[in-house]
Structure 1
Amino acid sequence: MHRYVAQANIDHYLSLLHGGDLTADNRSTITQLLLGEEDKLSRDLEHLEFAESRAAESRDRVNRLRKLRDAFEEGSPDRAQADRVLANVEAIHKLMEQFCHHMRQRVNSRGL
């Protein structure tokens, strides 16, 4: 039961982080909560698959936003806004990649 709560919390925190209307303090707090939930997951293959699916979704989001950003004229206000959004999403993606790497290490240290 706890793993489902942790997974639901991770999804919720990711949703909040992608919302974009956060202060720096709130973003930091939510990031810490996200990391805490990630640590609660055990070392089994199911959790690794969960981590990898979230990292893949994150990677897709980054790629979509890059294409959207590139559609704006260089130097325009829209491009500047898109750059800020992309930087935020790339930072979230980096967290997800680290989560995935951490889960792989946990699963591999346990053995399959």
Structure 2
Amino acid sequence: MIRYPINKGVNRPIEFRGLKGQYIYIMAVGLAVLLIIFSILYIAGVPNALLLPVVGIAGFGLLSAIFRLSHRYGVYGLMKAIARRGVPSAIYCNTKKTFTQLLQHNNCTTKD
């Protein structure tokens, strides 16, 4: 009888050293931006004694901020928090004009 291995990791988010899902991509983009900033400043002639500590501190800040977000929100919590900020707390309508236009657009009739 042939035995086939069962893949138990289906539909799980990717994980790397405690970072899960979207935070890995955010970290990769942040590190790429730091590399570009480093190369631009190096070509511009900024002394290495100033350049290395600045980029190192910025990298440490990036890593700590992303790990903090990862532990605070979890895998999908950051997307949910950003979406929640986009939802208005209330919708105010002072006239019936909006609703009557909706009814006319949908060919609905109302009883007055």
Q: TM-score, structure 1 length as denominator?
A: 0.32
| Structure with greater helix percent | 1
Q: Higher relative contact order at CA 8 Å, sep ≥6: structure 1 or structure 2? A: 1
Q: TM-score, structure 2 length as denominator?
A: 0.32
